[in-house]
Amino acid sequence: MGVGKKGEELAKELFQANYNCAQSTLAGILSAKGREYKDRIRLAGAFGAGIAQQGLTCGAVTGGLMAFGLLVPLGEDMGAWKKQVADLSKEYIREFKDRFGALDCSKLAGCDMSDAAVRKTFHDSGGRDRICTPMVMAGTEIALEILRRRR
């Protein structure tokens, strides 16, 4: 299996089981790093469809950022911890945006995800599978690759 393959597969499986994008990405990353995820993904419950279904920052992005906060060991020096999490997060955001061209859910989906009717049409037309699933998998892959490079 390639770097993060197990994580990507779990992220896809959870997303297809109707977990949101942030939960799925967070779970995939944590699982691939040998961490428990079942309780922790509740933290990401409000981050689907661009933060509370508002079409804002993509849940694959926010889920990845949450993972960094959970995976970086919290030491005595809070400033050093915050810098390390911020550095990982900036790299993740840059790579995700380079790959997909945007960070906002509505831009990535090509429709107003804050509108419930539009969101339903997006889901019913297969947009979630066609557009979001690859981003959830890529978000997981990007985070795991960054963590691997930083070892």
3-class DSSP assignment, residue 49: coil
Our measurement of the distance from residue 135's CA atom to the centroid of its chain's CA atoms, rounded to an integer in Å, reads 8
Q: Please give the backbone phi and psi of residue 108, each rounded to the nearest 5 degrees, phi first.
A: -65, -40
**Full pLDDT tens readout for the chain, 151 residues:** 344 458 999 999 999 999 999 999 999 999 999 999 999 999 999 999 999 999 999 999 999 999 999 999 998 999 999 999 999 999 999 999 999 999 999 999 999 999 999 999 999 999 999 999 999 999 999 999 999 998 7
Query: Residue 37 is which amino acid?
Result: Y
Task: Answer for the pair 4, 145: CB distance below 8 angstroms, yes or no.
Answer: yes
Domain spans in the chain, listed from the N-terminal domain onward = 5-149
pLDDT at 75: 87
